[in-house]
Amino acid sequence: MTFYIAPYAPRVVRRVARDAEAARSLALNIRDEGEAYVLSALVPGLKAEDLNIQILDDTLSIEGEYRPDDGEYLMRELPIGAFRRALRLPAALDADKAEAKIEDGVLTLHIPKSESARPKTIKVAYN
């Protein structure tokens, strides 16, 4: 017979680890607009120089860091520390034409699909 002192401890540890990982990750919204993907992420307080965005084939990687400011807090819920998010999109990307901007704490990426991944219209011949 096995006796557990804290039978729920493994679940609690997994949940805390999952929550900590989510805090270091970056939540994204992704739209497929036909010839390009448009991604949005909340990045409050970050500037362009705080982010590193890379594209390789169909993989997008976004890294950044929330730097802590000095001071005493009664409560601190805003993120601090480094984060990284990498994901594969369904089609190859054209990194040379990608655009990124931060406006009002929202990072917006416009990433065109590569020519080979874009939809093509084929004309039907008739006699």
The predicted-structure confidence for 14-52, as pLDDT tens digits, reads as follows 665 554 554 467 899 999 998 999 999 999 989 999 999
Instruction: Give Cα 1 distance to the centre of its chain.
Output: 46
**Helix, strand, coil abundance in the chain, percent, nearest 5:** 20, 35, 45
Please list the residues that pair with 101 across neighbouring strands: 108
Q: Which CATH architecture has domain 27-115?
A: Sandwich (2.60)
pTM: 0.71
pLDDT digits (tens, 9 = 90+) for 69-118: 888 889 988 888 899 999 999 988 999 999 999 999 999 999 999 887 66
20 CB burial (10 A radius; 0-12, 13-18, 19+): exposed
